């Protein structure tokens, strides 16, 4: 079967979104657990319980982030180049924060000193909190537009200095998006602890889920109002055919209030995305309140999927809008790689993604079970 170029462009927009959702559900869970680690674990043994609930899986889960980055590089090279120009300092901050995770998991329990272990506990917190915040901030800036433009040779140019590149990203709306990201990932990690941690820890995690879940719901609602009435969106008024060769400078883009809501007028079924976001988060809160950790985890995953889909659907087909030259904005139609590249990548995904998912499910089933303080005390010399 040979897919036409236009279809492949749309498929890869969907696949990158799926990778981001997979990252949020799996590695976001690890980050959420790290965010809760210093607060739900009152003793060293309890904190080791928290760490051991994600210890067998965190490195495999992080592959979703690496795969998403690789997919963006291969499928949307122009987006990858422009993003590293505008978000370079933010990405470096994420990278250095992520360094705390493998080192913290491996070295925390090597020395029995309480100060050593407490320092690594906060290091694991940093490795979860900072990336979660920055990822949300990045989405918040994409909705507002990024100050870059393409020259006649399609080279991206970012307006701003390298050292001063981070501060403009930390604007009020972007910080709100960061708070939503931190809150929903923290709540998601809390639902995981409700299923996997000792009962005393699970009860503290349950209370945390209700609290931060409410923050996520309120933040998502406020962001929706802000997008509708406080942020100008982007709208394409003319462009080459969607199956044409990529030409980011061949379109005309206008910036208008309410343009990000066009998708809900043109495609009414898109409203299912924010509905899923609110329903999933509210369901997670209610199920956590009732102590139903497993169902709360599933509901949390639905809520995060809805939130990510809401951002993607509202911006479609834009991927990286330009705030200084809107016609330089990169979209799903004019930023992709060649037809051959997208085809080869598509069949690689079609073959290997089911294998990866099957192996992942098998690993979770084989290592399933509630981690208890008694078990940790019996394994005094374990890695974590």
Q: Which long-range contacts (CB under 8 A, 24 or more apart) does 62-69 make?
A: 62/27, 62/30, 62/98, 62/101, 64/19, 64/22, 64/23, 64/26, 64/27, 65/23, 65/27, 67/19, 68/16, 68/19, 68/20, 68/23
Where does 41-171 have alpha helices with state H?
Answer: 44-54, 58-75, 77-86, 88-98, 100-107, 114-144
* Distance from C-alpha of 104 to C-alpha of 98, rounded to nearest angstrom: 10
pLDDT in tens, 256-286: 988 999 999 999 999 999 999 999 999 999 9
Listed residue (85, 184, 76, 90) closest to 131, CA to CA: 90
| CA end-to-end span of the chain | 49
**Concatenated DSSP letters of 2-33:** ---HHHHHHHHHHHHHHHHHHHHHHHHHHHHH
pLDDT in tens, 4-29: 899 999 999 999 999 999 999 998 99
Tokens of 379: 């394994």
pLDDT in tens, 80-131: 888 877 777 888 888 899 899 888 888 888 888 889 999 999 999 999 999 9
| Residue 346 pLDDT | 92
With beta carbons less than 8 A apart as the criterion, state whether 308 and 17 touch.
yes
Across the chain, what does the average pLDDT equal?
89
Alpha carbon separation from 5 to 8, 14, 69 (Å, rounded)? 5, 14, 22
With beta carbons less than 8 A apart as the criterion, state whether 49 and 96 touch.
no
């Amino acid at each position: 079967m040979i897919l036409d170029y236009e279809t492949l462009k749309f498929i890869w927009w969907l696949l990158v979104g799926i990778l981001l959702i997979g990252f949020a559900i799996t590695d976001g869970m690890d980050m959420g657990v790290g965010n809760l680690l210093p607060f739900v674990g009152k003793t060293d043994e309890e904190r080791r319980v928290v760490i051991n609930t994600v210890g067998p899986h965190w490195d495999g889960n992080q592959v979703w982030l690496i795969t998403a980055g690789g997919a963006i590089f291969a499928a949307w090279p122009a987006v990858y180049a422009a993003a590293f120009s505008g978000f370079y300092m933010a990405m470096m901050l994420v990278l250095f924060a992520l360094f705390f995770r493998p080192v913290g998991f491996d070295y925390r329990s090597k020395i029995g000193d309480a100060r050593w272990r407490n320092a690594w506990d906060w290091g694991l917190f940093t490795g979860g909190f900072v990336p979660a915040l920055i990822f949300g901030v990045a989405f918040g800036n994409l909705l507002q537009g990024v100050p870059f433009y393409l020259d006649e040779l399609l080279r991206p140019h970012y307006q701003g200095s390298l050292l001063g590149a981070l501060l403009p990203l930390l604007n009020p709306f972007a910080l709100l998006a960061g708070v939503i990201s931190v809150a929903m990932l923290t709540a998601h990690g809390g639902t995981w602890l409700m299923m996997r941690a000792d009962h005393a820890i699970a009860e503290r995690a349950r209370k945390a889920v209700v609290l931060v879940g409410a923050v996520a719901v309120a933040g998502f609602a406020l962001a929706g109002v802000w997008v509708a009435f406080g942020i100008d969106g982007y709208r394409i008024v003319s462009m080459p055919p969607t199956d044409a060769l990529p030409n980011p400078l061949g379109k005309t883009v206008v910036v208008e209030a309410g343009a990000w809501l066009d998708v809900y007028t043109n495609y009414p079924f898109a409203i299912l995305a924010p509905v899923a976001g609110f329903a999933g988060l509210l369901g997670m809160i209610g199920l956590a309140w009732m102590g139903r950790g497993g169902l709360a985890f599933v509901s949390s995953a639905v809520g995060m999927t809805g939130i990510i889909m809401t951002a993607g659907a509202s911006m479609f087909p834009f991927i990286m809008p330009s705030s200084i030259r809107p016609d330089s904005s990169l979209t799903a139609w004019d930023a992709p790689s060649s037809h051959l590249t997208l085809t080869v990548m598509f069949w690689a995904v079609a073959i290997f993604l089911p294998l990866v998912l099957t192996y992942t499910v098998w690993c979770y089933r084989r290592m399933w079970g509630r981690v208890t303080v008694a078990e940790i005390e019996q394994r005094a010399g374990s890695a974590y």
